[in-house]
Structure 1
Amino acid sequence: MLRLVTVFILGLFSTQALAQSEKPAGEAPNAVVSGLIQKRMANAHIPGAQVAVVRHGQVAMLESYGLANIEHQAAVTDDSVFALNSITKVFTAVAILQLAEDGKLSLDDPISRHIDDLPLAWRGISIRQLLNHTSGLPNIIDDHERIIGGGDAASAWALVQTLPIQSRPGDRYSYNQTGYVILGKIIDRLAGEPFTTFIETRQFQAAGMTHTRFGDSSDIVANSAGSYTTIENVNGRWVDRGRLAAAFVEFPVFFRTAAGALSTAEDMARWMIALHSGALLKPSSLVELWKPVRLNNGDLGGPNDFMNGQALGWPIVVRPDHPAAAAVGGTRSAVFYYPDDDLGIIVVTNLQGASPEYMMDRLAAAYIPDMDESTGFGLPYSIQRLRAQLLERGFDRARQVASRLKADNPAFVLKENDLNAWGYKLMEQSQPQQAVAVLKLAAELYPNSSNAYDSLGEAFQNSGDRQRALENYRRSLSLDPANQNARQRIADLEQGLAD
């Protein structure tokens, strides 16, 4: 029943599988990437997409797929322009570092050095803390992701200053748009021109990004790829409605340091090449750009378990091998750069909810062999240990193997969500018996979890064992009488067994 975050969690484990790689022996990396993209588009009902790969400073792949506009059946071309949403923040971070290189600010300046008339609690917050979402500021958007104050710049700014601070600066990571509005004000003042002009000149024009601009659904944009969605914000939660609809996005000009850039995969590849080559920033500034923040207690702060760190404008995948800078936008587009491998991958789509960020490692594996899913790359450490032992001793001994690992190392912990997500991935890869073994272990370790039994029921159902599926759905429902998924599955299975 890990369906409550289907796209996100299953996608998170897209590189974390037992199965052998989908890459046929000898198939060229670009062909592998193209095949994976087209499969993902079909499975997730993504209307249109562009993909670019940058390898050793060169564009190694550039492809366009599907429809830019469903209504007019207009195909995506390399000139189609896609919304980047929060990927825009990486341009803002580079702009701030360019001003630092110009000697106009320091990342550790308190924002009160550059902005007047701030609330007292805000004045000591640093520019760095705005960039890495550790400022503790109240958010200038509400739970429905609408700008407060009716969307008007002056009203929103006045209202957000009356709201209480959320945490002491540096104490915790909390994704925040207010900080990026402030960064826009700082760029305006220090650059002596609107931040949009500064970014357009110092980045878009400098990198040769001929299709890139700022805008939203209210702007007339040549070659616009449009915007579609299957998800809806209901009382602050994103719910998949399962129905494709046109999406309207609005980013007022004052908000366009946080979101509002429009671009193509080819332009983003040019920007990535310019960034890495030193055309936009010095090498020392690149080190600052991608350095993950440490909170006041020394811990990493980041968006989730996958993108487990945050740098300046960029979420970061922090890990010993193949770390990545991971810009994401609107759950529709992603820009990943693997600095140790000099590899960049850009995927832009016109579907909110496509979440390509969670397949980027899988695409990277086409070029980096030891990231291939057949190696178990990317699994949480405890799952890697379990996987290695199960491959050697057999999945039917999962409980004994887990007990031995725990006995050997009392700190060894198998998290329910990790087991659950791996089990679903095994089902996705047509390995039903292995999935049953893993999800059975999750239920044994977490016997009071309705979700664990629901998932195990689905694994048995997927394997063709309807009776054991029914038993586990009943157990799930007894633990959580509100579980409508289990209730419906029970009704369907009882009807099937009666027929």
Structure 2
Amino acid sequence: MKKSFLITVLLLVFNLTFSQKKEENLTEQKIDNYIQEVIAINEIPGVALAVIKDGKVVYEKYYGKASLEENKAVDKNTAFKIFSTTKLSTNVGVFQLIEQGKLSLEDPISKYLNNLPKEWQGVKIKNLLSHSSGLPNIVMFEDIAITLSFDEKLKLLSNKPMEFVTGNEYNYNQTNYLFLAKIIEKITSLSFDEYILNNQFPGVKSGVYFSSNFGEAVLNSASRYNYNAETKKYIKSISDFGFDAHSANGLNISLPEFIKWNQNLDNDIYLKKETKYSMWQPFAFANKTDRFAYGWEIVPVNKILSYGFTGGNETAFRKFPDHKLTIIFLSNGHKYSSLYVQSQVINHVASIVDQTLTDDYYLAGEKVNQAFLKLDIKKAEQNYLDIKKNHPDWDFEYRLNVIGYTLMDHGRIKDGIKVLELNTIENPKSENAFDSLADGYFKSNQLENSKKSYNKVLELSPDHKNAKEMLEKIKNGSNKI
């Protein structure tokens, strides 16, 4: 009797384990198939992807090339440039100082930075983190060279106008993170790099370093590639954003080290749980429409909130705290960088791992993108119309606009214009849709059609500045923007 019972229990355990393993293998295969399709459609040189669920790494794989010139494969030692995803480590560094009582969200930046204009006196630490400062964006001014000292940059920047009233709205701004770095340095008496490495990557000998110089040759580092639509080839980037950009885009990290960073964040090693969750609270913008946390993007997926950031249209990190899920996507180039492939990957992989995170609108949007990239234009358009027929309430205006420009930028002028025409049919009251179509016509030298579309823009928005200027150019016989 006892022996029979033991055998029954063992069989149940075996069957349960077998079923669980089978399900895990099926999930892994689904992710494999999906990522390979994404890489093929977007012609991505190299990719590293990790999925962490319930504290366990359930997926970690490497694809493609870290270096096309050297034919070097991506592997666990490959350090990727993560661009603006770097800001997450800066955010954690700021909140570590807050937790230690050395800094407050309510501190004015004038407490730490000298020689600030009067208009900047109301800017606080919370405004830098939430991109609600309204400060002039330093990367927008050609006269502020990266080779200048911080004091020289500050002097020039101080003469630029504020973008909006502090706290009113969200506007992504690199000045915010330059100032956060200088405030960290003032408080700690360490360089920004030293502070972050000492407090978030102690003892790490390889796989993590700071550099915003993409042309710098570093062992086991993935090259960053820009796609040239004319030659249809990737070109290695040699852009250099300077040392002062490290807090905004300078972190280079391997996937295993990023996984460890996430585990330390999950296990409350960097920050106490309550401090960590305070980073993810939405900032109270005065316009009551924008949504962003303290340095973290808030993304609802099937009405479930997730938090993270993306960088360079090539990397992404996202957490679903209530589902104990984190997804990390790293790459070193996209053919269609304007289509936000990194965000689509996060949302799609989340739906594979956890069905409650299946967001039909996001997945349909990705399907629309892929159809226009890989199918005949008529089939792609029909695919879109079929989706809209089933979901007439779904808004794809912005997506169609980006797809139209993307196709034109890659030599598919006629197809791109067809997509922009479709957008005006779908959104007949959108001045932006008609403005983009007019721009497409103008670029293809269809000046009469361009003129008609710009006039339509003015019907919808009589004070539209660009439409007036472009109509004047057409009138004067110019065919150059």
TM norm structure 1 = 0.68
Alignment check: 8 A CA contact 1:54 1:60 kept? yes
Residue 28 of structure 1: SS of its match in structure 2? helix
C-alpha deviation, 1:61, in angstroms: 1.4
2:465 aligns with none
2:145 aligns with 149
Structure-1 separation of matches of 2:61 and 2:390 = 48
Alignment of 1:69-468 (within 5 A): 69-142=67-140, 148-154=144-150, 155-205=152-202, 210-215=206-211, 216-230=213-227, 242-300=232-290, 309-318=291-300, 321-351=303-333, 354=337, 355-372=341-358, 375=360, 416-417=397-398, 443=425, 446=428
**Equivalent AA in structure 2 for residue 349 of structure 1:** S
C-alpha deviation, 1:446, in angstroms: 2.0
Which string of whole-angstrom CA distances, capped at 9 and with x for unpartnered residues, describes residues 316-352 of structure 1?
Answer: 2146622211311111111111112111111111115
Structure-2 separation of matches of 1:181 and 1:441 = 39
1:487 aligns with none
**Equivalent AA in structure 2 for residue 46 of structure 1:** I
Which string of whole-angstrom CA distances, capped at 9 and with x for unpartnered residues, describes residues 289-314 of structure 1?
Answer: 112223113222xxxxxxxx322222
Residue 133 of structure 1: SS of its match in structure 2? coil
Residue 340 of structure 1: SS of its match in structure 2? helix
Structure-2 separation of matches of 1:241 and 1:199 = 40
1:36 aligns with 2:34: yes
Structure-1 separation of matches of 2:425 and 2:389 = 11
Alignment check: 8 A CA contact 2:308 2:317 kept? yes
C-alpha deviation, 1:359, in angstroms: 2.2
Residue 65 of structure 1: SS of its match in structure 2? strand
Alignment check: 8 A CA contact 2:423 2:433 kept? no
Alignment check: 8 A CA contact 2:318 2:326 kept? yes
Alignment check: 8 A CA contact 2:51 2:327 kept? yes
Alignment of 1:460-479 (within 5 A): 479=449
Alignment check: 8 A CA contact 1:399 1:441 kept? no
C-alpha deviation, 1:142, in angstroms: 2.1
Residue 95 of structure 2: SS of its match in structure 1? helix
C-alpha deviation, 1:133, in angstroms: 0.7
C-alpha deviation, 1:242, in angstroms: 4.8
Structure-1 separation of matches of 2:79 and 2:390 = 54
Alignment check: 8 A CA contact 1:147 1:156 kept? no
Structure-1 separation of matches of 2:428 and 2:159 = 44
1:480 aligns with 450
Change (3 A) 1:397 1:344: closer
Residue 106 of structure 1: SS of its match in structure 2? coil
Change (3 A) 1:240 1:54: farther
Change (3 A) 1:60 1:480: same
C-alpha deviation, 1:371, in angstroms: 3.0
Structure 2 gaps, min length 5 = 1-21, 366-384, 405-417, 438-445, 454-481
Change (3 A) 1:30 1:319: closer
Alignment check: 8 A CA contact 2:53 2:325 kept? yes
C-alpha deviation, 1:223, in angstroms: 0.3
Structure-2 separation of matches of 1:419 and 1:227 = 28
Residue 351 of structure 1: SS of its match in structure 2? coil
Change (3 A) 1:70 1:203: same
**Equivalent AA in structure 2 for residue 322 of structure 1:** I
Residue 61 of structure 2: SS of its match in structure 1? strand
Alignment check: 8 A CA contact 1:68 1:225 kept? yes
C-alpha deviation, 1:81, in angstroms: 0.9
Alignment check: 8 A CA contact 1:99 1:105 kept? yes
2:472 aligns with none
Which string of whole-angstrom CA distances, capped at 9 and with x for unpartnered residues, describes residues 446-468 of structure 1?
Answer: 2898969x99xxxxxxxxxxxxx
C-alpha deviation, 1:41, in angstroms: 1.0
Structure-1 separation of matches of 2:431 and 2:166 = 36
**Equivalent AA in structure 1 for residue 294 of structure 2:** L
Alignment check: 8 A CA contact 2:215 2:237 kept? no
TM norm structure 2 = 0.71
Change (3 A) 1:240 1:446: farther
**Equivalent AA in structure 2 for residue 45 of structure 1:** E
Residue 46 of structure 1: SS of its match in structure 2? coil
**Equivalent AA in structure 2 for residue 164 of structure 1:** P
Residue 293 of structure 1: SS of its match in structure 2? coil
Residue 263 of structure 1: SS of its match in structure 2? strand
Structure 1 gaps, min length 5 = 1-23, 232-238, 301-308, 381-394, 403-411, 424-435, 456-475, 484-499
Which string of whole-angstrom CA distances, capped at 9 and with x for unpartnered residues, describes residues 13-44 of structure 1?
Answer: xxxxxxxxxxx999622222222111111111
Q: What percentage of residue pairs aligned between the two structures are identical?
A: 27
Residue 326 of structure 1: SS of its match in structure 2? strand
C-alpha deviation, 1:211, in angstroms: 1.0
2:19 aligns with none
CA RMSD of aligned residues (A): 3.8
**Equivalent AA in structure 2 for residue 159 of structure 1:** L
**Equivalent AA in structure 1 for residue 126 of structure 2:** R
C-alpha deviation, 1:54, in angstroms: 1.0
Residue 310 of structure 1: SS of its match in structure 2? coil
Change (3 A) 1:240 1:448: farther
Structure-2 separation of matches of 1:448 and 1:213 = 46
Alignment check: 8 A CA contact 2:348 2:363 kept? no
Alignment check: 8 A CA contact 2:134 2:162 kept? yes
Structure-2 separation of matches of 1:69 and 1:133 = 35
Alignment check: 8 A CA contact 1:90 1:312 kept? no
